Amino acid sequence: MGAEKVVVVGAGMVAQRFVQSLRAGDAEGRYAIDVIGEETFAPYDRVALTSFFSKAGPEDLLLGDQALWDDPAVTLRRSTRATAVDREAATVSLDTGERLTYDHLVLATGSSAWAPPLPGIDLPGVFMYRTLDDVAGMQAWVRERQAVVGRPVRGAVIGGGLLGLEAAGALQSMGATATVVEFADRLMALQVDKSGGEALKSLIERLGVKVKTSLATTEVVADAEGRAGTLRFSDGSEQLVDVVVFATGIRPRDDLGRGAGLAVGERGGIVVNDTCLTEDPRVSAIGECAAAAADGHLSIGLIAPGNAMADVTAHRLLGREEAYLGADTATKLKLLGVDVASFGDAFATTPGALEVVYSDPFSGAYKKLVMTDDASTLLGGMFVGDASAYAQLRPMVGAELPGDPSSWILPEGAAPRPELELPDEATVCSCNNVTAGTIRHAVNEDGVHDLGELKACTTAGTACGSCLPLVKKILTTELGKAGIEVSQALCEHFELSRAQLFSAIQVAGLTTFSEILERFGTGHGCDICKPTIGSILASIYNGHVLADDRAALQDTNDRVMANMQKDGTYSVVPRIPGGEITPDKLLVIAQVAKDFDLYTKITGGQRIDLFGARLEQLPQIWQRLVDAGMESGHAYGKSLRTVKSCVGSTWCRFGVQDSAGMAIRLEERYRGLRSPHKIKVGVSGCARECAEARGKDVGVIATEKGWNVYVGGNGGFAPVHAQLLVEDADEETAIRAIDRYLMLYIRTADRLQRTAPWQAEYEGGLDAIREVILDDSLGICADLDAHMVHHLDTYEDEWAAVLADPDRLKQFTSFVNAPDTADPSLAYVEERGQRRPATASEKVQLVGAATATTHPEEN
Amino acid sequence: MTDTQKIVVVGGGMVAHRFTEAMRARDTDGRYSVTVLAEEPRAPYDRVALTSYFTGKDPEDLALGDPALWEDGLVTLRRDAKAVAIDRDAREVTDAHGVVHPYDHLIMATGSYAWSPPVKGADLPGVFVYRTIDDVAALRIYVERRRKELGRSVRGAVIGGGLLGLEAAGALQELGATSTVIQFSDRLMNLQVDEGGGQALSRLIENLGVKVRCNTATEAIRPDKHGHVGSLKFADKGEQLVDVVVFATGVRPRDELGRDAGLTIGKRGGIVVDDTCLTEDPAVSAIGEVACIQGACIGLIAPGNTMAEIAVDRLLGGEATFPGADTAAKLKLLGVDVASFGDAFATTPGALELTYADPVAGVYKKLVVTDDARTLLGGILVGDASAYASLRPLVGSALGGDPAAWLLPEGSIERPNVELPDEAGVCSCNNVSAGAIRHAVTEQGCHELGEVKACTKAGTSCGSCLPLVKKIVGSELEKSGIELSNALCEHFDMSRAQLFNAIQVSELQTFSEIIERFGTGRGCDICKPTVGSILASIYNQHVLAADRAALQDTNDRVMANMQKDGTYSVVPRVPGGEILPEHLILIGQIAQDYGLYTKITGGQRIDMFGARLEQLPQIWQRLVDAGMESGHAYGKSLRTVKSCVGSDWCRYGVQDSVGMAIALELRYRGLRSPHKLKLGVSGCARECAEARGKDVGVIATDHGWNVYVGGNGGFTPRHAQLLVEDVDDETVFKVIDRYLMYYIRTADRLQRTAPWQEDHEGGLEAIKAVIMDDSLGICDDLDAHMARHIDSYEDEWKAVLNDPERLRQFTSFVNAPDDPDPSLAYVEQRGQRRPATESERRDTAVLIAPTRLEVRS
Amino acid sequence: MTTVSQRAAVPTASTDRTAVCAYDRLTADLGVAALIDGVQVAIFRLADGTVHAVQNLDPFSGAHVMSRGITGTRGDEPTIASPLYKQVFSLLSGECLVTMDKAPREGLDPRLTVFAVTVHDGLVYVDVPGAM
Amino acid sequence: MTPASAIATRTVVCAYDDLTPDLGVAALVGGVQVALFRLDDGSVRAVQNLDPFSDAHVMSRGITGSRGDVPTIASPIYKQVFSLITGECLVTMDKQPRAGHAADLAVYPVTVDNGQVIIDLVSAA
């Protein structure tokens, strides 16, 4: 079957879009396309015309993939004009004398620049601003005049709309001066209101462009040589010029349609219905030459609606009926570096509409939001000078705007902007009419995971690009939601995040790594997923950290229940709840330190760390500590470290509650509780806060009436002070709140996520957490409580258990074949009466050749 | 001296009062007598506050100034004595009672009257004007009566949407009537606010339940069937049912007396006067709203007061002239703030308008500035006029900083701190400049707001400038160091920093010399420890040297920290938390021997609690013998330098944090300071030592150390701020040396580094300049001072143990040195003892007696 | 223990002078405690050479620590400040001049009992009612 | 690299049953520290015990795992991951090995014979 012939008259941006859209959906080659273009170029980006001056050449403005024009199904005829359409015969006549027959005709002739019929408009030095040829002609003229007059060329632009300002910018970049003459009382009268126009004027003038408003041009007067020399205005004034650019608007190029007897709109444009079809079912019209029903049969001079019409027409030809819904006249432009944007009901014509305005003439910003009378729903807006909020706000038109509307227009940082979740149907890219839903679909269903792919797949952000920040945000959010982001998936073995895995393991009731891996993962696991699952299992079942197959899951620290130091030896840290220690225990610790020659340091966690214990020494050391009634301090675990406290009301004259007692109670309650990261708790006996509890994950501070509980404090890279969770609570209430807080954290936090970021990222923040644990908004409190009770019921000292189990003791050997030999590479020097690991250079001296032999195969 | 001259004041309003008051205050020689002819049956009252009449104020509450003015022998107030004729040739005024008052000088202060347009029905019962107490009283009676008669709430309408109209609408609401404001112009208060402001204002007023109709001309008032006011008919044919109508359509000068007397009258009324308020007749002045000055009558109180002062001044021989009216206004209308000042309508050529409008919050704010955005020209504030007091006096001067800061919601951008020029007017009602207020504070000894108000009259009329007055007073007091809280105590008028300098410069070394030279009395528990600390900081001698023991708190005196039961804690220094097992054993044994409660602290050392006074020397003897020394846990001085284990052991450590911590702890041990000092050193950015919560935090980097300063726990925790980055060990010492010394010299008593740093003029940046760039040229001095401290350090406990004289104080009882305090009682808890609570004390069974064993052989 | 001080607070008719220590044993402005028939007394020698005695019990803390406070003046009144919570008392009348916005411990009078002191033959005597 | 002339020394280090799956042990073979791992599939792997990134002899205490099909061992100190097949460092954690050390681990052939684990230590001597 032969291909149907589609003839496209016009080779502008809309024509290009139509061809692209049709080809993309026509894999079987139903259609052969002829494109008839007047210009010598393939379709180029007219919107970016001004950049012609800053870029190398017209090629840079070419649109899309040029391979489109190499497609055998597409024939592009450049420098060719269609002269007539014979609808009876279904042919198009060309100025080459050819005659093309068509099955479908698509008129995309666009518009032409319109200039008022002023005397002198045909003088040399007067230009229009519409095509690359116009611009090139203008550039040549300015260059030539510059060389002759020996001073900057005086330029004037008639028309202060969008194109006029573009033209002024073009003049400036050619080195000419520019004055913009506007008939209306402000620049860009169609897009901005009076105040916005004033802001724009002052910004434009700051750039060196003169602006005259409320002024009509009556004549271009020739100079002695017959070139454009003077402009004469309606108020009698005059201005000397060397070049004049008319940017007084455009008119649809509907003459072909007219000639073919097609209906034409009142103000021009070929009349089409909602599917862009003219009265002739074989003729469509798209873009600026069309006057669509949805636009009230007016021609629209913007690219976005043109693209939409192109798509609607292409899809119709491909058998998919869609309707063109009318233009979204939202605009965002960068004119001479000045941001101007306007969208929705920018002029507040809706009855009762409120205007929230921020204007700052110094920074040049004018910003306005138009809201419904109850200030809840966004109707439109206008931005001059700073349009940073445009991308996020435009799609919200008609939707409820959360938070204080003024936060969107105040200078960055003045008021926090609420987070927006766009509805699926909200348009994100208006150039290419891509909705938030389409983007989400691409991410979730089509597996698109990066911005480049996403652009290619949805065409979002490929035209003007102003929506890209928003597209990126949606992408990130969706990836985050879907847990697709690499950092959310635990590792290559588990696609789940820690929180998901936690639920999965809990629900499935699995207790071993191999079962879990089989059920939820792939491969053999690694150093990331193994400790995480070890921690989850410990959190859920609280069995011994070395029980079942768990030993191999653990980091060496958890595996040998000690904290590895840089030379491979370990620190030994017995628990000293609340820092309170009997002299007897102190003596045992000191004696152990002496006997094993361990470096001894009192820590900020209010206990004593002994450093430098070798693997095979650990059981002997712990035997003595356990015999003296001490237990593991879990300094090695992602679990409760210490509960720091001041001395409290028992001794201190300022203490109002027994902070040491409370600290000990908390430490004994949460000891051994495995969590996504280490947990530190502090208790202060009065508001002087000597325990620095607000720097801890959980801080408890005594009040006259009870306790205040603070949560989410953190030291480290980005220190954060803990925030108030409950106030003046009695001991039981405080403890219950902490129980639930910790359990919720353990269940839902990411791997290695501390409480501060967890809390900050928790949906709804601390308020939501408070609702969960105090008001049981999720109905899980009983579960959290039961979980904590289980933890308490099943707690046992890990070290005591290991010492009683010869099997587990086996791993505490230096060498499997020489269990009594110490690691021969260890070397120490004495400093301040104690030993410390030797530095590399010290080691060479100390161990000498002996060490060298232990290093195999050094290159 | 000639005879007393007679002044007759025609009119008894606020301006007349002001004239009389000023005359009596300034005419100390009694050159003039003043007769005031008041039309109303009462003394002048505060007409501005008329609306408050409804909130229950009596007319007396509205009385102006000190009523004693009217008792003055040279003042005669004639109430109910309307002047009816003036004979300029005879220099006589005749009042309504036919009494003739001769004058040497006549003051016309007849003010203005409420003007209502000639609307049909304006004479119906139920139509009022809003001007005098009598007007308002009648309105109140009428509304209350009609409410009873109608059995429903009374429908009120106010014609006129200016200032008075809104006041009247508020008054109607107070009376329980509904109210609608009918405004001819396109917005409310069109003289004060622009269109944007007017819209904001309408919205706010409507939110309060007052209806607003703009662009509406009232054509007629129609009676109901009983002949009362019944409805309003508008030019647009609309109609509205009403029960009471109040005209607030403006005021007109009451110039008829002057007119009759042949004085020149202005085009729009008012007796024409020159800039000294004199009419063409050198014996007649006109002041206030009746005066047509500089071509216009001004319906505001502030310019009226100014005219009164000028007339007085001229009569007393001065040459003051009228500077032009400040038409600035700030009002609270129905609870809505409205303010307008300066060139509010931006009529100055090139003026820029900076606008912030937020109809949701009901706020409209506009600043008008010169085209370079530097100088404030005027402004309009609706809904939130909090910036008015600060801004109005700045008209004509530089704003400083970002002008937007004044408009944006509180807290969004920091407002620059503005120092008003002396000539800036602060109180426009009474024309008081910033300079006058400063003068009152610095020269006239006014130290409180009340005194300043009494002395300068600032803020005594409308009160809107009071926040600003207070601020000026505060900063002046602060500047001159007068503020009471700066004086240490009743014995020293100086602040700690001043005293520090004084002692250093005078080189005095004993408290008695110092108090003799710089103070009074014999000192107290505030100044003695402060001086003790300063002496220790400067000379670093033993804390018990010379007469210093008695200066110290018991903690410093016995070098131990007193606990709630009067016993002490013993805290030997454990630099960096690093401790020899031998020392650990010793501490354990001492705790066992003396039954001391033992706790490891966050400062990385071991506290032993419950040591009695007389036990301290024995305990310390054992500690000192083993090579331990005082940890200064009792002193306002360096406590500990907390550290992580650092690169020696930790796999993440990038520098030797313990070594650094120990070096710092040994360097600054014993250094006396205004408050305790805590330091921290972390071996990497993981910050395990929580150094940023300390006064000085040192954090290792790959290239050296970062030093942070001014961290703090406690009531308001603060994170320390970066002082220097990536520096070597020597630089760490140098900057901390200087930072601490500078703090010690200039901080207040018990002021920690965080607030010191914040209060320091110029903040941390300025401190940086002092210690890094030597901007004050004191670095050598600071360095020398620290060097002296380090050189002269000795362990306090060791020194005491070697001095039998000083050991004498460590006795329980002077007459029974070996008896322990018999009141001490303990219970056992978790294997250690703790002080018994009140109830446990009663139950003697559980008590443990204090240890009495003499452990030393 | 509090019962002791309450007894001290209610003087009985018979009083006895008890020699406590040598005058020279006292250092100016440095207090000492003395135990007189079970009653703890804080004794101060001031800069002017006078000697004052008050109860050693601090009514605001319940601890016997007044002897370890700081002496001073308020106007012309010699004072002693509690070393625990800084309340200031007159050494002449025992009156609490500055309460620091606190109330004394339950059952304790905010005013310190003042004991008469005499110095005779280089010895310091304190009159404690009921002491033998 | 191993010179062609290297002499292979076979040393019995322990019984196969002494090894727990996935739990490494260290062995001292002629003064050289060797880390031994018995994997899930029953195979035994041996690499140098020296962690080239920390200079501590700790590889035996790392966590076994896999990257794709390659069995791996992660350093317990700075978490670098090495292949147990080739010794190649697969994840450097953006760190350099200590001066004088190669980033990759030496791998030693292991045989299990008669229930005994035997290491072929190739000595460069």
C-alpha B712/C-alpha C76 separation (Å) is: 39
Q: What pLDDT score does A361 carry?
A: 66
- pLDDT-above-70 percentage for chain A: 89
CB-based contacts of B784, cutoff 8 Å, min separation 6: none
C-alpha B700/C-alpha B688 separation (Å) is: 11
Closest CA to B334 of B215, B213, B209, B245: B209
Q: What pLDDT score does C1 carry?
A: 33
Identify the chains in contact with C, defined as 3+ C-beta pairs within 8 A.
A, B
Residue B482 clears pLDDT 60, i.e. is over it: no
Domains A4-112+252-317 and A126-248 belong to one CATH topology: yes
C-alpha B673/C-alpha B632 separation (Å) is: 12
Average pLDDT estimate for B835-841: 82
Q: What is the pLDDT of residues B379-407, one digit of tens each?
A: 888 888 777 777 777 787 777 666 666 66
| Cα B59 to the center of its chain, rounded Å | 32
- Sorting pLDDT into bands at 50, 70 and 90, what band is A697? very high
Q: What pLDDT score does A125 carry?
A: 92
Gyration radius of chain A over CA positions: 38
Report the residue from D19, D33, D66 with minimal CB separation from A524.
Answer: D66
Q: In this structure, how many other beta carbons lie within 10 angstroms of the beta carbon of residue A620? A: 14
User: Would you say the C-alpha torsion B301, B305, B307, B308 has a positive or negative sign?
Assistant: positive
Q: What pLDDT score does A415 carry?
A: 46
Q: What is the pLDDT of residues B760-814, one digit of tens each?
A: 777 788 899 889 988 888 889 899 989 999 998 989 999 899 988 888 888 888 8
Distance spanning both ends of chain B, measured CA to CA: 100
C-alpha B832/C-alpha A102 separation (Å) is: 103
Classify residue A44 by its DSSP letter: B
Instruction: List the 71-90 stretch of C: residues with Cβ below 8 A of A.
Output: 84-85
CB-based contacts of B274, cutoff 8 Å, min separation 6: none
Do D38 and D44 form a contact (C-beta atoms < 8 A)?
yes
Q: What is the pLDDT of residues B281-323, one digit of tens each?
A: 999 999 999 999 988 888 778 788 889 988 998 998 888 888 7
Give the E-state strand segments of B99-172 in sequence order.
100-102, 105-108, 112-114, 127-129, 155-159
D78 contacts on B by Cβ (under 8 Å): 651
Q: Is B613 exposed, middle or buried (0-12, 13-18, 19+ CB in 10 A)?
A: buried
B80 touches chain C (CB under 8 A): no
Q: Is B816 exposed, middle or buried (0-12, 13-18, 19+ CB in 10 A)?
A: middle
Most confident of A512-521, A834-843, B214-223: B214-223
Which of A164-173, A427-436, A569-578, B726-735 comes out lowest in average pLDDT?
A427-436
Which of A667-676, B570-579, B626-635, D5-14 comes out lowest in average pLDDT?
D5-14
CB contact under 8 A, B649 and A602: no
Closest CA to A272 of A293, A250, A301: A293
B651 contacts on D by Cβ (under 8 Å): 54, 77-78
B267 touches chain D (CB under 8 A): no
B819 contacts on C by Cβ (under 8 Å): 35
D54 contacts on A by Cβ (under 8 Å): 566, 568
CA distance to partner chain D, nearest, from residue B659 (Å): 22
Report the residue from A362, A604, A664 with minimal CB separation from B689.
Answer: A604
CA distance to partner chain B, nearest, from residue A244 (Å): 29
**A269 or A62, higher pLDDT:** A269
C78 contacts on B by Cβ (under 8 Å): 522
Q: What is the pLDDT of residues A781-835, one digit of tens each?
A: 888 999 899 999 989 899 999 999 888 888 888 888 888 888 888 889 988 888 9
Residue A646 clears pLDDT 60, i.e. is over it: yes
C-alpha A396/C-alpha B468 separation (Å) is: 44
B206 touches chain A (CB under 8 A): no
C-alpha A312/C-alpha A319 separation (Å) is: 10
Interface A-B, measured as beta-carbon pairs within 8 A, has a size of: 257
Closest CA to A683 of A674, A670, A672, A673: A670
> What superfamily in CATH does domain A126-248 come from?
FAD/NAD(P)-binding domain (3.50.50.60)
Q: What pLDDT score does D3 carry?
A: 42
CA distance to partner chain D, nearest, from residue A824 (Å): 8
Do B532 and B674 form a contact (C-beta atoms < 8 A)?
no
Average pLDDT estimate for B168-191: 87
Do A558 and A534 form a contact (C-beta atoms < 8 A)?
yes
A823 touches chain D (CB under 8 A): yes
Give the E-state strand segments of A87-171 in sequence order.
91-94, 99-101, 104-107, 111-113, 126-128, 154-158
Mean pLDDT of chain B: 84
C62 contacts on B by Cβ (under 8 Å): 565, 838
Q: Which residue is associated with the tokens 């019409």? A: A309
DSSP character string of B371-410: TTS-BEEEEEEES--TTHHHHGGGTTSB--S-THHHHS-T
Chain A residue closest to C62 (CA)? A653
* Strand ranges of the sheet holding B597-600, from the earlier edge strand across to the other edge: B561-562, B568-570, B606-611, B597-600
Tell me which H or E stretch contains B481.
none
A653 contacts on C by Cβ (under 8 Å): 61, 84-85
Q: What pLDDT score does A629 carry?
A: 93
> In a mutagenesis test of the C interface, which of A653, A688, A704 is the best target, namely the one with the most C β-carbons within 10 Å?
A653
C-alpha B690/C-alpha B713 separation (Å) is: 11
* Domains identified in chain C and CATH numbers: 2-127 (2.102.10.10)
Average pLDDT estimate for B230-258: 89
- Sorting pLDDT into bands at 50, 70 and 90, what band is A667? very high
pTM: 0.55
Q: What pLDDT score does A349 carry?
A: 81
Give me the residues paired with residue B107 across strands. Answer: B9, B285
Q: Which CATH number fits domain A4-112+252-317: 3.40.50.180, 3.30.70.20, 3.30.1300.10, 3.50.50.60?
A: 3.50.50.60
C-alpha B288/C-alpha B321 separation (Å) is: 14
Q: What pLDDT score does D76 carry?
A: 86
CB-based contacts of C130, cutoff 8 Å, min separation 6: C7, C8, C11, C12, C14, C15, C16, C37
Residue B420 clears pLDDT 50, i.e. is over it: yes
Tokens, residue A187: 């620049």
C-alpha C90/C-alpha C75 separation (Å) is: 11
Which of A74-78, A506-510, B230-234 comes out lowest in average pLDDT?
A506-510
Closest CA to A674 of A783, A554, A800: A554
Mean pLDDT of chain A: 84
Instruction: List the 1-30 stretch of C: residues with Cβ below 8 A of B.
Output: 1-2, 4, 20-21, 25-30
- Sorting pLDDT into bands at 50, 70 and 90, what band is C6? very low
Instruction: Fold for A638-796, please state it.
Output: Sulfite Reductase Hemoprotein; domain 1 (3.30.413)
- pLDDT-above-70 percentage for chain B: 89
Q: Hey, is B680 helix, strand or coil?
A: strand
Q: What pLDDT score does B628 carry?
A: 95
C-alpha A48/C-alpha A357 separation (Å) is: 30
CA distance to partner chain A, nearest, from residue C2 (Å): 18
Identify the chains in contact with D, defined as 3+ C-beta pairs within 8 A.
A, B
Instruction: List the 642-671 stretch of B: residues with Cβ below 8 A of D.
Output: 651
Do A770 and A712 form a contact (C-beta atoms < 8 A)?
no
Give the E-state strand segments of chain C in sequence order.
15-22, 32-36, 39-45, 51-55, 70-74, 77-81, 88-90, 96-98, 114-120, 123-129
CB-based contacts of B594, cutoff 8 Å, min separation 6: B608, B610, B611, B615, B619, B851, B855
A600 contacts on B by Cβ (under 8 Å): 578-581, 584
Closest CA to A633 of A556, A577, A704, A700: A577
Q: How far is CA A733 from CA A642, A650, A713, in A?
A: 21, 22, 20
CB-based contacts of A74, cutoff 8 Å, min separation 6: A19, A23, A32, A33, A35, A68
C-alpha A39/C-alpha A46 separation (Å) is: 12
* Contact of chains D and C by CB distance (3 or more pairs under 8 angstroms): no
D53 contacts on B by Cβ (under 8 Å): none
> In a mutagenesis test of the D interface, which of B647, B650, B651, B652 is the best target, namely the one with the most D β-carbons within 10 Å?
B651
Chain C residue closest to A653 (CA)? C84
CB contact under 8 A, A586 and B576: no
C-alpha C15/C-alpha C31 separation (Å) is: 23
B479 touches chain C (CB under 8 A): no
Chain C residue closest to B563 (CA)? C84
* Contact of chains A and B by CB distance (3 or more pairs under 8 angstroms): yes
- Sorting pLDDT into bands at 50, 70 and 90, what band is B719? confident
Average pLDDT estimate for A342-349: 83
Do C15 and C127 form a contact (C-beta atoms < 8 A)?
yes
Q: What pLDDT score does A194 carry?
A: 83
Which of B659-668, B688-697, B745-754 comes out lowest in average pLDDT?
B745-754
- Sorting pLDDT into bands at 50, 70 and 90, what band is D6? very low
Q: What pLDDT score does A394 carry?
A: 77
Q: What pLDDT score does D7 carry?
A: 55
Q: Hey, is A636 helix, strand or coil?
A: coil
CA distance to partner chain B, nearest, from residue C13 (Å): 25
Q: Nearest 10 degrees: CA dihedral of B168, B170, B176, B181?
A: 60
Q: What pLDDT score does A469 carry?
A: 63
- Sorting pLDDT into bands at 50, 70 and 90, what band is C11? very low
* Domains identified in chain D and CATH numbers: 6-124 (2.102.10.10)
D99 contacts on A by Cβ (under 8 Å): 840
Q: What pLDDT score does A282 carry?
A: 94
Q: What pLDDT score does C56 carry?
A: 93
Chain B residue closest to D53 (CA)? B651
CB contact under 8 A, C35 and B565: no
- Sorting pLDDT into bands at 50, 70 and 90, what band is A634? very high
Residue A367 clears pLDDT 90, i.e. is over it: no
User: Would you say the C-alpha torsion B187, B191, B194, B196 has a positive or negative sign?
Assistant: negative
**B183 or B423, higher pLDDT:** B183
Q: Which residue is associated with the tokens 């690169």? A: B647
> In a mutagenesis test of the B interface, which of C17, C24, C57, C68 is the best target, namely the one with the most B β-carbons within 10 Å?
C68
**B790 or B479, higher pLDDT:** B790
Residue A677 clears pLDDT 60, i.e. is over it: yes
Interface B-C, measured as beta-carbon pairs within 8 A, has a size of: 117
Per residue, the 3-state secondary structure of A669-728, as one string, reads HHCCCECCCCEEEEEECCCCCCCCHHHCCEEEEECCCCEEEEECCECCCCCECCEEEEEE
Q: What pLDDT score does A526 carry?
A: 81
Report the residue from A493, A530, A855 with minimal CB separation from D63.
Answer: A530
Distance spanning both ends of chain A, measured CA to CA: 72
A564 contacts on D by Cβ (under 8 Å): 58, 61, 76-77
For this complex, say whether ipTM is above 0.85: no
- Sorting pLDDT into bands at 50, 70 and 90, what band is B853? very low
Residue B167 clears pLDDT 90, i.e. is over it: no
**A578 or A249, higher pLDDT:** A578
Q: What pLDDT score does A738 carry?
A: 96
Q: How far is CA D112 from CA A102, A403, B293, D11, D49, in A?
A: 81, 70, 116, 11, 20
CA distance to partner chain B, nearest, from residue A375 (Å): 6
Average pLDDT estimate for A576-587: 92
Which of A322-331, A500-509, B463-472 comes out lowest in average pLDDT?
B463-472
Q: Is B106 exposed, middle or buried (0-12, 13-18, 19+ CB in 10 A)?
A: buried
Q: Nearest 10 degrees: CA dihedral of A276, A280, A282, A287?
A: -30
Q: How far is CA C121 from CA A779, C43, C47, in A?
A: 84, 18, 20
B220 φ/ψ sector (left φ>0, alpha ψ -120 to 50, else beta):
beta
- Sorting pLDDT into bands at 50, 70 and 90, what band is A733? very high
Q: Where are the domains of chain A?
A: 4-112+252-317, 126-248, 498-560, 561-632+797-812, 638-796, 828-858
* Strand ranges of the sheet holding A707-711, from the earlier edge strand across to the other edge: A640-645, A679-684, A698-702, A707-711, A723-729
Q: Nearest 10 degrees: CA dihedral of B141, B145, B151, B153?
A: -20
CB contact under 8 A, D57 and A825: yes
Architecture of domain A561-632+797-812: Alpha-Beta Complex (3.90)
Which of A312-326, B72-86, B544-558 comes out lowest in average pLDDT?
B544-558
C-alpha C51/C-alpha C41 separation (Å) is: 12
Chain D residue closest to B652 (CA)? D78
CA distance to partner chain D, nearest, from residue A855 (Å): 7
